Amino acid sequence: MMRKLIRNYQINRAKRKFISKAIVGQGFQCSMNFCVNANRKAAIEIGDSCTVGANLFCASKGKIKIGNHTWIGGNSSISAAISIRIGSYCAISRDVEIRDNNSHPLDPTLRRNHLRIDSQGWGMENWYDSDMAEIIIGNDVWIGRRVLIMKGVHLGAGTVVAAGSIVTKSFPKLSVIAGNPARLIKTLEFALPK
C-alpha cells in the first residue's frame, strides 16, 4: 500500500513539473523519467488524453505539437529547432528519436564553437548552425521501437514504421516502411478513420 502511495506521489509530481513547462490537454499523463527543455511554455503543445514518456527539447524558435490520444514511449527523444508536428491517435514506441535538425553543423569551425567549454557548449541555440527542416507525422501513425526519423520527413496518415528503421525521406498515407534507409514495403488497403 505504501509503495503504491509513493509511486502515485512521484507520478503526480512529475506531471506537475511537465505541465509547468508545456501546454497540455485534459487527461494528460507522463512518466517519471522525462525531460522538458524549452525556453517558453508555448513551445510545446500536447492534446487531450496523451501519454508522454519522451524527452522533449525545443531550441529558442522550435515548436513541438502533439495531437489528441497519442502515446509516446519512454526513453524516446523529440528535438525541434523549427517544428515537429505529430498527429492524433499515434502510437510511438520506446527508444524512438525524432529530430528536425542535425544538431551540429558540417563546418568543423562552427562545430568547434559548439564544443568549447567557454561558449554555450551543447546549448540548443547552436542548433541553428546546422541543417534543419520541419517534420510532420500524420494521424494514426504507428512507429516501432528504436526508429530514427530525420529532418524534413513527412509521414502520411496511417503509416506504419517497422522497428529499427531510419527514416530519411517522406512517405504517403497508409505506407508500411522498414529498413536503413527506410523504404516502402507495401501500401495498406484500410480506410482511414474519420
Tens of pLDDT, residues 130-171? 788 999 999 999 999 999 999 999 999 999 999 999 999 999
The pLDDT confidence band at residue 20, using thresholds 50, 70 and 90, is confident
Say which of 69, 104, 114, 154 is annotated catalytic: 104
Grid look-up 542535425 returns 102
Grid cell of 108 as nine digits? 568543423
The pLDDT confidence band at residue 100, using thresholds 50, 70 and 90, is very high
pTM score, two decimals?
Answer: 0.88
User: What is the reported pLDDT for 32?
Assistant: 67
User: What is the reported pLDDT for 96?
Assistant: 98
Report d(CA 12, CA 17) in Å as an integer. Answer: 9
Report d(CA 45, CA 19) in Å as an integer. Answer: 10
How large is the average pLDDT for residues 179-194? 95
Q: Is 154 a catalytic residue?
A: no
Q: Is the pLDDT of residue 38 over 90?
A: no
Grid cell of 8 as nine digits? 502515485
- Which 3 state secondary structure label does DSSP give 175? strand
The pLDDT confidence band at residue 127, using thresholds 50, 70 and 90, is low
Average pLDDT, the chain: 87
Q: Is the pLDDT of residue 121 over 50?
A: no
The pLDDT confidence band at residue 116, using thresholds 50, 70 and 90, is low
Grid cell of 117 as nine digits? 567549454
Tell which wins on pLDDT, 118 or 189.
189
How large is the average pLDDT for residues 42-59? 91
| Strands (E) located in 12-155 | 23-24, 29-30, 36-37, 44-46, 51-52, 55-58, 63-66, 71-72, 77-80, 83-86, 91-92, 97-99, 135-137, 142-143, 148-149, 154-155
Q: Is the pLDDT of residue 120 over 60?
A: no
User: What is the reported pLDDT for 138?
Assistant: 98
Report d(CA 49, CA 167) in Å as an integer. Answer: 27
How large is the average pLDDT for residues 31-43? 76
